[in-house]
Amino acid sequence: MSFKYNKNWQERDRLIFGNVLEKYDTRRFEDLKASILQQLVTQNFANLEDEHNCAPQIQEFLDLAQEWEECDRAIQVTFGGYVVSPQREDYQVSIDSVLINTMQLDDEYKPDIMSPLLIKLIEFAGDFHPDETIAKSDRIYFWWD
């Protein structure tokens, strides 16, 4: 049985962007919280099995976010990607990047919390080979073309 997308694109766009544009082909977004992505999945605007080219499936992105955010509330995981217009046959929500922000994490505890998570993150990146990786002391970013 194939996935049936919720075609209420106005509601989908309100969830993602906070507004609705009448005309576009694709529309880029950044800083999408995992809770909003989960809501998009729950309401059938996004399919857990969808993947952008060689990027992880949406389910794998959500699993990553849950794992990091459960370790410390100061860690924020957000996603980037795009939506496709309902006028196109490939109407969808596509995730092509993830940002793990540790800026609010207490420096004293950062090594204890980050070390085991970084090992898992390296494995994650190794499995999916991102096209761009940015790793700094306060954030880690992966993007797939």
Residue 3 within a domain: no
Residue 44 within a domain: yes
The angle at the Cα of 141, spanning 78 to 37, to the nearest 5 degrees, equals 20
Q: Which domain holds residue 20?
A: 9-143
Strand partners, 132: 143
The tens place of each residue's pLDDT in the chain, 145 residues long, gives 589 999 999 999 999 999 998 889 999 999 999 999 999 999 999 999 999 998 999 999 999 999 887 766 778 899 999 999 989 999 999 999 999 887 776 666 566 666 677 777 778 888 889 999 998 878 889 999 9
Residue 30 within a domain: yes
Q: How many domains are contained in the chain?
A: 1
Residue 84 within a domain: yes
Residue 26 within a domain: yes
Q: Find the length of the chain.
A: 145
For the whole prediction, is pTM greater than 0.75?
A: yes
